[in-house]
Amino acid sequence: MAGSGEDANDTAGHRARLRARLLAGGAEALGDHEVVEYLLMTAIPRRDVKPLAKSLIARFGGLSGLFNADPAALASHPGMGETSAAAVKIVALAARRMARAGLQEMPVLSSWQALLDYLTIDMAHLRHERVRVLYLDTKNRLVSDELVSEGTLDEAAIHPRTVVKQALDLGAAGLILVHNHPSGSPEPSRADVQITARIAEAGRLLGIIVLDHVIIGKEGHVSLKARGLI
Residue-wise pLDDT for 84-138, tens only, equals 999 999 988 888 787 777 666 667 777 788 888 888 887 877 778 889 999 999 9
Long-range contacts of 143-148 (CB under 8 A, 24+ apart): 143/170, 143/171, 143/172, 144/170, 144/172, 145/100
Distance of CA 211 to the CA centre of its chain: 22
In the predicted model, what is the mean pLDDT of residues 140-153?
A: 83
Strand segments, DSSP code E, in the chain are 130-136, 142-150, 174-180, 209-217, 220-223
**pLDDT of the residue at 42:** 83
Tell me the pLDDT tens digit for each residue of 42-62.
888 878 899 999 999 999 988
pLDDT for 2 equals: 43
Nearest Cα to Cα of residue 181 among 91, 99, 98, 119? 119
Contacts with 216 (C-beta within 8 Å, 6 or more apart), sequence order: 116, 119, 120, 123, 124, 178, 179, 180, 181, 186
Cα distance between residue 29 and residue 37, in whole Å: 13
Residue 10 pLDDT exceeds 80: no
* Structure confidence at residue 166 (pLDDT): 95
| Mean of the per-residue pLDDT values of the chain | 85
Strands 174-180 and 130-136: antiparallel
More confident residue, 84 or 18: 84
Model confidence pLDDT, tens digit, residues 188-225 = 999 899 999 999 999 998 999 999 999 998 888 999 99
Contact 183, 146 (CB under 8 A): no
What amino acid occupies position 19? R
Greater model confidence, 166 or 155: 166
Is-above-0.85 flag for pTM?
no
Smallest CA-to-CA distance from 225 within 184, 191, 175, 181 is with 175
The answer to whether the beta carbons of residues 166 and 135 sit under 8 Å apart is: yes
Written as one letter, the residue type at 156 is A
158 or 203: which leads in pLDDT: 203
